[in-house]
Chain A
Amino acid sequence: MVVLDATRTRGYGRDMPTMSLRHPLRALKLETGEGTLFGLLALLVGTLFGGYTIAKVVRDSMFLGEFGATNLPWGYLAVALASIGIVAAESRLTTRLARAGATALGQFVAIACSLAFAALYPVNRHLVAGLFYVWAGSQAMMLLSYFWLLALELWDSRRAQAILPLFSGAGLFGGVAGGWFAHWGVGRIGTDGLLWTLAGSLVLARVITMALDKQLPVRPFVAQSGSGESPIGILRRSPFLRYLAATLALSVVVSTLVDFQFKYAVQQAYPDSHALTRFLGLFYAGLNGLALVAQFGVAGWLVKRSGVFLSTLPQPLTILAFSTWVVFSPVFGVIVALRWVQGVLFQTLGKSSFELYFMAVRPAERQKVKPALDTLVERLADAAVGIVLLIVLHSIGVDMRVVAGLTVVVALLWLWMLTRLQRRYVGEFRNSLAQHETTLPISAAGLGLPEARRTLVLALGSEDEAQVLTALGLAGQVSHRDVRPAVVARLDHAGVAVRAAAVRALDALAVPGHEAKIEPFLLEPDLDLRRAAIGYLLAHGADPTARARALLDGPDAELRVIALETLMDRRRIAPGAVTLAWVDDRLAAGSGEDLVAAARALTLVAGSGGDERLRRLVEHEDREVRRAALLTAARRPAPALLDRLVESLTDPDLAVEAREAVAALGLAAVPALAKLVEGGQEPTGRRVACEALGRIGGRSAIATLLWAVRSNDPDARFDALRALNRLRARSSSGLIPKAMAHQLWRRELAEYRDHLLPAFILVGAKDPRVVLLEDSFFESADWALDRACRALACYHRPEPFRSVYQYLRNPGAPGTRARALEYLSHLLPRRLFGELREIFEEKSIEKGTEGIPDDGQVAGCIERAYEIGDAWLRACAIRAAHALESHAPFVFAAKPDELPLVEAELAVYHASHPAAQAAS
């Protein structure tokens, strides 16, 4: 037995202490272990956004100082072209590098560029001003994209909705700090000092990213859309997406026109470069600060209250108002106010409403189209503005009234396009409901939006029964005064399925007061309708206990079963409805159904009187009665039944139920389970005992599992490692010392290598008997690799290791194995990682194994399989020996306690090779 360090094993099992970080993490919708990850990500986005704001301030002041605002259109054009080139280069790179590799490369390029700009600035200001403008608008922007890609990769869309806004907040906070620093610092450290600060912030971002990489789980790649359709193809097919692209383009055009007016005005107002930088720093700090307040205050409330359309309108409407004002009075204050309002609304309402519009797109298509829209449409729109401004400025000169007039025209176009988009948006939901899609391309939060809600109400009143059913399925998630009456109205529908769905929706919405209408449904023959009606009546009707008793004592056996199931599922709705006397009545009735009902009802009866009755049922001859009794024992722990429950573990048909019943007993069951594990004669019993130990936890359970982990039986090792991984997932620290995990990893990896080498040698063999041996070697290697990963997951967090194992054994996409190796390189000591890299990167095992194996090689593999293999591999080795007729007969030494599987193969081989039998 292994004696464990108490500090490492304390607190597992049922008495696990609550961790102090648990509640703050839950408040942020984070899970245990994600706190550090979240903190580092927030720090990273804050640093990046702070650096980016400094870059924006410096970029604008340098460009305006060196080239003047009239040359801004050339800047827009250059940034657009550079961005398209960089996006294209980046997409090529990401197919060759893992995400972490692409991020690192992007960060190193950004650091190198920023250092070069800082060093060159005193030498050639003009050149640096131009190049810096293009770089800050293109490559530097990519760093933020990398961050969002990483964040989206870490959390699924449901959790991302809750977590990502917090990162937006952290980013805006960084933006406030960056803007304020530029305002404060330019007078003290100058523009070149700000450039060095920018380089420093990028270095800091790199350091945070490196720390982050150590925390990151390796996640499986998200499957791409199976249609293989290009983003352009999807855009052509979907009118909604075309409207969305056009709206996005118009909003970018308006933003760029506003940006031009603002920069022209501030250049006129602040001809001194330092004063300009100070103003821009303060401006961006204020803009980000107001956006931060708006995002966590007004924006979410407005979107939820008014819907996506009304939340999108303030942006074009305010721009329209302010631009019209500028047409008549192009004064500095109005133009700054225009830019300010546009910036805040764009950062808050603009971004959220566009994300909501994207929700109406099917996820697979969204995944393809969104990056294309974000990059291509935005950049092309920027380029278009650049060209238009160049034409305007060259033909009529700089006239703010004309640019503001142009802004008014485009803002009007934008408003018109928004109304078209809105019509299509509602149409998309209606189509989804009409096609009876139970999984709508929107989240529950999206369903609460007024547009979706109105469509839902329309669908509830539809003539199409399938559409009504889909709508009722969704209505249970939308508690709103408009939705409830529409659901109630469906209680009168002729279709049984619709009425059942309506009752379930009212149950989910917890709407009381409809018993009179629902009670008659109990008399209908449809089982689903009766079940829904009982659920509603017991949960929301008057005097549920009396009603439950009436159903349990009533003549209708089906209603009795449904009522009992409902009470078991929702134990709080009718306390005391089931009594021991009722159980005895069922026991006395004695039919199979009555006994099953009695066994299940014991779950709801407190007190020791139930134990004796439960024992009788656990020992009953009818398997289904035993199953029901075991399930009850799992819900209502009965220590007196331990021996009987442990015996049931070896029954393959009842093992799962028995496991839960034994695990419910906790530490008291460990000695009996240890006997099963250490006895080892019965594989099913050992496997289930390990699973039960993995549910119980505690020092003694872990010690028993570690005994199995160190045994020579690979199956026992697997069962125990799996149980330990389960325990580790519930724990906040490693179950075993790191050195022990590495030792176990090394042992399994050696086994992996031992099985992989002969497998590679046999690749190319044609005889099916030899191919079976090859497949079995590969399978043994796979299983050893699985155990190796599980060994590490006893110390480290186990979640990433499922992906690590899959990526290592079967790299499905370019870079997947690289990702797994990259992850392991952070965890393993250099020496152990070197051994791993030798296998996977240098492929030393595969070297020299190419081509069809000759008889000598096959014979060597047969002997190796018989020597190192389990019973199956030995049996396969003997069968493969038949394929080598020209080879001298093999001498297979019989092992003590050989399994029948191997003995049967030996008998066949010896029958055809008598000389071999004599020799053995």
Chain B
Amino acid sequence: MTIVERVLTLKQIDLLEGAGPRHLLGLAELVREVEMRTGQAIYGDADLADAIYVVFTGRVRLLAGGKELSTVGPGQAFGTWALVDDSARGQSAECVEDGVLVALGREEFYEFASGDPGLLSGIIHLLARRLKAIVAERPEEARVEVEGTADEAEPAKDLESKP
């Protein structure tokens, strides 16, 4: 893959949609190309979220508790929550058609982003827009969540959901 192809692939990651092409250029030099074979596990439920993936060729099935959630193909990203949450994946991914994945490690991402505030600000803007949409939908829950005026037992569900 050329660098431009890698940038085109990274643009599929929804969390990076606000990042300009030249910001992605630096990241493109850090990504790994991972070959996958049918039946191979990409990650398991209990694995820590340490990288995000984009399918370049082939197909990947995503499962939660043994139940299929979806199948992703070329140009689609998965495991993207790894950028903002390093806890256990809570879902598994396995290859269902031979191909190549583009993997971006969480550590590499943050090391690069620490020198590129523009990239981080793009992600923060995107997250802020989403949070704003959630707040607009459920203002009362959001107020409680932000101001801590009620028990912390019931965070807004949308904030917990993972792709």
Show the binding face of A for B, using Cβ within 8 Å.
Answer: 226-229, 435-436, 652, 768-769, 772, 775-776, 779, 782, 872, 875-876, 878-879, 901, 904-905, 908
Contact = CB atoms under 8 A, between A and B. Distances in A.
A872 B26 CA distance: 11
A650 to B, nearest CB: 14
Interface in B25-84: 25, 75
B115 interface: yes
Given A227-B142, A901-B3, 20 more contacts: A226-B132, A227-B135, A227-B139, A227-B143, A229-B143, A435-B148, A436-B148, A652-B115, A768-B11, A772-B4, A776-B22, A779-B22, A782-B20, A875-B4, A876-B4, A878-B4, A879-B8, A901-B2, A901-B4, A908-B2
Contact of B22 (A227, A769, A872): A872
A326 B135 CA distance: 56
A435 B146 CA distance: 12
Interface of B: 2-5, 7-8, 11, 20-22, 25, 75, 115, 132, 135-136, 139, 142-143, 146-149
Query: What does DSSP make chain A's interface, helix, strand, loop or mixed?
Result: helix
A435 B149 contact: yes
A779 B4 contact: no
Nearest to B143: A227
Nearest to B135: A226
Contacts of A872: 21-22, 25
A879 B4 contact: yes
6 contacts: A435-B148, A652-B115, A772-B7, A779-B20, A872-B21, A876-B4
A228 B136 contact: yes
Nearest to A362: B147
B145 to A, nearest CB: 11
Given A435-B149, A772-B21, A776-B22, A905 B139 contact: no
Contacts, number: 57
Nearest to A233: B139
Nearest to A875: B4
A134 to B, nearest CB: 40
Nearest to B25: A872
A878 B4 CA distance: 10
A905 B75 CA distance: 20
Contact of A779 (B3, B21, B135, B149): B21
Contacts of B132: 226
Nearest first, the 3 closest Cβ-Cβ pairs linking A and B are A779-B20, A904-B2, A879-B4
Contacts of B139: 227-229
Nearest to A901: B3
A228 B133 CA distance: 12
A876 B25 CA distance: 11
Contact of B20 (A227, A436, A775, A904): A775
Contacts of A905: 2, 4
Contacts of B4: 772, 875-876, 878-879, 901, 904-905
A221 B120 CA distance: 22
Contacts of A908: 2
A872 B20 CA distance: 12
B147 to A, nearest CB: 8
Contacts of B25: 872
Contacts of B142: 226-227
A775 B10 CA distance: 14
Contacts of A226: 132, 135, 142, 146
A652 B7 CA distance: 22
B54 to A, nearest CB: 13
B114 to A, nearest CB: 11
Nearest to B7: A772
A435 B147 CA distance: 9
A779 B19 CA distance: 10
A873 to B, nearest CB: 9
A904 B21 contact: no
A651 to B, nearest CB: 13
Contact of B8 (A228, A436, A772, A901): A772
Contacts of B146: 226
A872 B25 CA distance: 9
Contact of A772 (B11, B115, B135, B143): B11
Which interface residue of A226, A229, A876, A878 has the most chain B CB atoms within 10 A?
Answer: A226
Nearest to B4: A879
Contacts of B147: 435
A796 B115 CA distance: 29
Contacts of B11: 768, 772
Nearest to B9: A768
Contact of B21 (A436, A652, A775, A878): A775
Nearest to A880: B4
A901 B148 CA distance: 50
B34 to A, nearest CB: 20
A226 B142 CA distance: 10
A226 to B, nearest CB: 6
Contacts of A228: 135-136, 139
Nearest to A870: B22
A262 B8 CA distance: 78
Contacts of B148: 435-436
A226 B135 CA distance: 8
Contacts of A876: 4, 21
Nearest to B115: A652
Contact of A768 (B2, B8, B115): B8
Contacts of A901: 2-4
A912 to B, nearest CB: 13
Contacts of A227: 135, 139, 142-143
Contacts of B20: 775, 779, 782
Contacts of B3: 875, 901, 904
A227 B148 CA distance: 14
Contacts of A436: 148
A634 to B, nearest CB: 19
B103 to A, nearest CB: 20
A905 B7 CA distance: 13
Contacts of A775: 20-21
A417 B11 CA distance: 61
Contacts of B5: 879
Contacts of B2: 875, 879, 901, 904-905, 908
A652 B8 CA distance: 26
A908 to B, nearest CB: 6
A872 B6 CA distance: 13
Contacts of B7: 772
Which interface residue of B2, B25, B75, B132 has the most chain A CB atoms within 10 A?
Answer: B2
Nearest to A436: B148
Contacts of A779: 20-22
A769 B8 CA distance: 7
Nearest to B29: A901
A876 B7 CA distance: 10
Contacts of B22: 776, 779, 872
A696 B148 CA distance: 47
Nearest to B131: A226
A652 B136 CA distance: 43
A815 to B, nearest CB: 20
A698 B151 CA distance: 59
A435 B149 CA distance: 7
Contacts of A768: 8, 11, 75
A664 B136 CA distance: 50
B48 to A, nearest CB: 26
A878 B3 CA distance: 12
Which interface residue of B20, B21, B149 has the most chain A CB atoms within 10 A?
Answer: B21
